Chains A and B, each alone.
Chain A
C-alpha cells in the first residue's frame, strides 16, 4: 500500500519564545518492509538551522534552531511511503515466551534495533508490579509469543477506555494504568511494561494510521494525529512484530512506522528548549491517504 502523508502542526505561544532549539522526530526512519520518498519539511518562520542528528535508536531526528522571538510556529511535513505486509498471524510453530526471553538475553546484536536495548525498564516505562499482576495470566513462559501478545493487546483494547484529554505526554504510566484510561501513548506504555516484565524485548513505536478506512472497514482509533503502538521481538526467526493495543490488533499495512525507541521519550515527535513562553496551544492536522485515492479525486 502506498500512502501520501501530510502532517501539519501549529503551535501558539501565549508569550513570545526565543532561542528555541527543537528536536523533530517526524520523518520515517528506515524500517524493513517500508519505504519513504519525497520527504519535505517546511517550518514557518524559517529556522536558522535545520540539522539531522543521531538518535541512537531507529529514529530520525532533525534539529531546528530559531533564535528570533516567535509566538506562532508552523511545522509541516509531507512524504510518500509504501508499506508492505500486513496479514501477520500467529503460526503453530511460533516460539514460546520463555524461548524468546532466553534468546534475547544471548543475542549479540548492539545495533539500534537490537533486542537487548528493549529488555529493561526505561524512564517512561518503569516495571510496575501491578501491571505484571494484571497481565501475568496471559504471559506464561510456555505460551506462544504472538498469540499471547495479541491477547494482551486485545485485553488493553477492551478494558481501557480511550479518552483523549484525560492524559497528556507527561502522564506516568502508573496513573493511566490505575485509571484504565488514556490514549494510544498510555496503552502502548502499559503493553511495553507488561511484556518487559516477563523478560521480552518490547519497544515503543510512533507512526501514522490510514485516515479513512478501506470500504466496509471501521475507521481505526487514533487516526487524527500521530499514533503509537508496540513492537515485540519474537525471536531471531520472526523478528519484530507490531501490536496495536489501542485497536487490539496486530499492525498491518494501515500502520505507517515513523520511529522506535524504549518509550515515548525516545521518539517524542517534538521536544526542545526555549526562553520565555507562558503557555501554548497546539493544532494538529494529519492526512494519510492511499495514493490511488489521491489520484482519483
Chain B
C-alpha cells in the first residue's frame, strides 16, 4: 500500500467497495473471476488516485480529451454536433472470456458470408427449403440485380460488426448483425485514444491488448482482394451530412485511404476511376460506408444524388473490390437471424458458439402461433427493420406494455401480414460501472464488436469494442441514443502485451502525399477564398469603426471614403443597406447571420467547406474555426474594434497554420491559390474604389489600411499618401505580399507546378491565363498604371478563376427522370 496521502488507496478501495455494495448479480465487475477482480480493483484504485477520489473529476478529464480529439456526433435531426459522451471507466474482459467471444464472432462472420454468397449465386438455401424466399426478398437491402455478380476471391464480406450483450448469468448473445457499415469502429478507436491520454500508463499496466494491429489487418484484407499489388482504395462516404462522417474521415486518415464521395468517382468502360487534378486515376477497391440503394442511380435507386453512375457495371465486370459487396445487407434482418441456428448446422455442421437472442419469425404458422400465445413475455419487432402496422418507425414493443386496443391492432396486423413481424425474447442486460452524477453506479451495457478479414482472408476480431451504456431501453435503435454514454472496453491479459515490432512490417519510404481528388482541390480553393474574404470584411469593419492609425479618421461616415466603404459592404451583402449608425452597421457586418456576407455567415461557410475536408485539415484548424465570435456591443465602438481585431488575429492564425504546418502538396497549392485569387480580386476592387485618378488623401489612407500596407508605405515615404506611390505599393510592388502583382506571380508559380494533362508540352488554359496576367502587370509602375489596367486585371482574374474551375474541379451531374405515361 502506498503511504503517500495523495495516492489515497482508501479512496480507490472506497470506489470499489461502494460500487460492489450497490451492484446486483450479473454485473461485469461483481461477477468477475478472482483474477479479473484484481484487475478491476487495481484499475479503480489507480483511477481514483489520479483524481483524489472524485469520480466527477475523472469524468471531466476524459471528456476533455474527447473534445480535444475533435470527437462529436449527431443524432438524427440534430443541426449542430454534440459533445461526445465518453464514460471514464472502461469495461474489463479477461483473455479467456474474450477467446470465447472471438471464436463465436469468427464463426458467425464465416456463416454470414456463406449465406450472402448463396443468396447472390446459386440460391440453394432457398431451393432446398432451408431459407424461405420471402425472408430474402423482405429485406430492403436485398438487390436482385446483384444475383450472379461475384466479388474478388468470393469474399462477399470484408467486415462484420455485431451488437452483443451479456445476460445475468454471464452468457453472451448477439442482438444484431451488421454488415452494411461498421459504424462505431472509428469511435471505438477514438474512445481508446481519449482514455489512454487521460489515464497515463494505466492501460499498459493492465496488459490491455492493443487495437492498432486490427486496423492493419483490416487494411491488409481490403488490399489483398484488389487486383493491383499497390492498390488505390477509397473509403466511399455518403458525405458530410451523414451521422458518422467524422468517424469515416478519421478512419480514412488513420488507414491511409482516400476519402471519396460519389461525385469524386466515375465509371468508364466498366472500370472505376477517381477524378483528380491529374485526370482520372484507377481505383482498385472501395470500403463502402454507403447503402447499396444509393450506390448507383442507374442500377439501384434512381433518386440517389450521392452515388456513382454505373458503379454496378464495375461490380458486374469484376476486378473491383468492394467491402462489403453490394446487397450484403440482406442478412441483417431479424427475420433471418431466426434461421441462423439451423443454417449454422446445415452449412458449418456446428451449433452457433455465440447465439442470437431467441427470435421467432411470424411468417411461419407455428412460430406465429407461439408468438401470439406468449406475447406478454416477448418483444414484438419489425422483421425487416421497417415501419410496420402497430410498430411505429419499426421499433420493437414489449408485448406486456400494450394496452387492449393497441394489442388488438397489432394482432390484427400480424394476421394480415405476419411476415413483417418477429417475436424476440426480452433481454436483460448485465451492468458495468459508470460515473453518474459524480459517483460510480451500475449501468446496463451492450458492446458493438468488430471483425475483419486480414490479408490472408482470415477473420480477425478487434480486441476491444464500442461499449454503449444505456440511457434507455431500446438498446438496438442506433449506435447512440438520447441519454446514452459510450465507454471503452479493454481485453486484458495476464501477462504484458508485447509491443508491435516495427521491423519487417515497415513500409517503403515515400515522399509524395498521394494524389488530390478534384473535389478536395475545389474545396481547398474555396476555403482559401472564403477565409480571405472574411479577412477583408473584417478589415473593412475595423477601418470603419476607426481602426486606422490616422488619428483624425474617427468613427463617422462623414467622409466620402467612409460612405463608399459602407456601400461596398452592402454590395458584398455584409449589411442590408448603407443607411444607419456606424455601430449597428458594423455589428451587422460582424454578427448578423442573415447577411450572407457577414463575418458570422462567412465563417459558417468556412466551417461547412472545411467539414468536407475533414480528413485533410488539422484539429487546430477546427478549434479556431469553431470558436464563437468575440462578444461585442453595437453601442460601444471599442468592443467592435476589439472583436474585429481579434477575429483578424484568428484569421492570421489560420494563415500561420497553412504556412507552417501544411505540407507543400498540391492541396496546399489550391488552398493558397484561393487566398491569392480572392486577395487579388479584392485588391483590384479596392484600387478602383479608393485609388482612382481623383482619389483624396482619405481615400488613399483607407486603401493603405485595407491592404495592410500603412507600415510599408511609411518605411518608404516620409510624406503623406500620394497617388502614384500608393498605387505602386498596393498594386505593383513585387515585394509586397499584399500587392496585386504579388498574388498574380504566386498564382502563376502554383499553376506552373501543378500537373498537366497534355502530353504535347503546350500550356493548359489556366497556365496561359496566369502567365499572361503576370506578364501584363509586372512591367507596370505606379505612375504608368491606369484604371483600365486595373479593370483588365480584374477581368483576367475572373477568367482565370473560371479556367481553374473548368480544368481542375468537378462538373456536377444532375438526375432527371422522364415521365412518359398517360
Contacts and interface: CB of A to CB of B under 8 A. Distances in A.
Interface of A: 9, 11, 19, 21-23, 54-57, 63, 102, 104-110, 112, 114, 116-117, 119-121, 123, 127, 129, 132, 164, 168-170, 183-185, 197-199, 206, 222, 224-228, 264-265, 268-277, 280, 282, 284
A110 B817 contact: no
Contacts of B389: 127, 129, 132
A274 B123 CA distance: 37
Interface of B is mostly: loop
B646 interface: no
A282 B816 contact: no
Interface string B297-327: 1100111000001100000100000000000
B138 A119 contact: yes
Given A274-B813, A274-B814, A282 B819 contact: yes
A170 B123 CA distance: 34
Contacts of A106: 132, 134
A225 B417 contact: no
Interface of B: 123, 126-127, 129, 132-134, 136-138, 143-145, 147, 297-298, 301-303, 309-310, 316, 363-365, 384, 386, 389, 416-420, 811-822
A273 B814 contact: yes
Interface of A is mostly: mixed
Contacts of A104: 134
Given A21-B310, A119-B419, A107 B821 contact: no
Contacts of B133: 107-110, 114, 116
A106 to B, nearest CB: 7
A169 B811 contact: no
7 contacts: A106-B134, A110-B123, A117-B137, A198-B417, A273-B813, A273-B816, A277-B816
B822 A123 contact: no
Contacts of A222: 822
B819 A226 contact: no
B298 A21 contact: yes
Contacts of B820: 9, 225-226, 269-270, 282, 284
A129 B384 CA distance: 18
Nearest to A7: B820
A80 B780 CA distance: 76
Contact of B302 (A54, A105, A268): A268
A110 B126 contact: yes
The 8 tightest CB contacts between A and B, nearest first, are A225-B822, A169-B819, A56-B145, A271-B817, A116-B133, A56-B144, A116-B137, A269-B820
Contacts of A198: 416-417
A54 B820 CA distance: 21
B302 A265 contact: yes
B309 A21 contact: yes
Contact of A116 (B134, B316, B816): B134
Given A199-B419, A284-B820, A120 B812 contact: no
Contact of A268 (B309, B417, B812, B817): B817
A226 B820 CA distance: 7
B386 A197 contact: no
A224 B822 contact: yes
A108 B811 CA distance: 47
Most buried by B among A121, A198, A265: A121
Given A164-B822, A184-B822, A269-B821, A274 B816 contact: yes
A102 B134 CA distance: 11
A246 to B, nearest CB: 9
Nearest to A106: B132
Contacts of B818: 11, 22, 169, 268-272, 280, 282
Given A21-B310, A23-B298, A226-B822, 13 more contacts: A22-B818, A105-B363, A105-B364, A108-B127, A110-B123, A120-B138, A127-B389, A169-B819, A170-B819, A199-B419, A271-B818, A272-B817, A280-B816
Most buried by B among A105, A106, A198, A277: A105
Nearest to B129: A108
B814 A277 contact: yes
Nearest to A165: B822
Contacts of A119: 134, 137-138, 419
Contacts of A110: 123, 126-127, 133, 136-137, 147
Given A55-B145, A206-B821, A284-B820, A275 B811 contact: yes
Contacts of A132: 389, 416
Contact of A185 (B418, B815, B821): B821
B417 A197 contact: yes
B237 to A, nearest CB: 20
Contacts of B144: 56-57, 112, 117
A273 B143 contact: no
A150 to B, nearest CB: 20
Contacts of A275: 811-814
Contacts of A169: 817-819, 821
A120 B819 contact: no
Contacts of B814: 273-277
A105 B132 contact: yes
B817 A270 contact: yes
Contacts of A112: 144
B145 A54 contact: yes
Contacts of B419: 105, 119-120, 199
Contact of A183 (B365, B384, B822): B822
B792 to A, nearest CB: 31
Contacts of B817: 169-170, 268, 270-272
Contacts of A269: 818, 820-821
B698 to A, nearest CB: 47
Contacts of B129: 108
A146 B781 CA distance: 91
A123 B291 CA distance: 15
Contacts of B126: 108, 110
A197 B418 CA distance: 11
Given A56-B143, A129-B389, A271-B818, A120 B384 contact: yes
Contacts of B303: 123
Contact of A228 (B309, B384, B821): B821
A94 to B, nearest CB: 20
A39 to B, nearest CB: 17
A270 to B, nearest CB: 4
Nearest to B297: A273
Contacts of A280: 816, 818
Contacts of A54: 145, 316
B369 to A, nearest CB: 14
A11 B138 CA distance: 37
A250 to B, nearest CB: 21
A121 B386 contact: yes
A196 to B, nearest CB: 8
Contacts of A22: 818
A227 B822 CA distance: 7
Given A108-B129, A116-B133, A119-B419, A272 B821 contact: no
A112 B144 CA distance: 8
Most buried by A among B133, B297, B365: B133
Contacts of B363: 105
B87 to A, nearest CB: 39
A226 B816 contact: no
Most buried by A among B310, B316, B418, B818: B818
A64 B95 CA distance: 59
A185 B819 CA distance: 11
Given A106-B132, A117-B144, A199-B416, A272 B298 contact: yes
A180 B325 CA distance: 42
A67 to B, nearest CB: 11
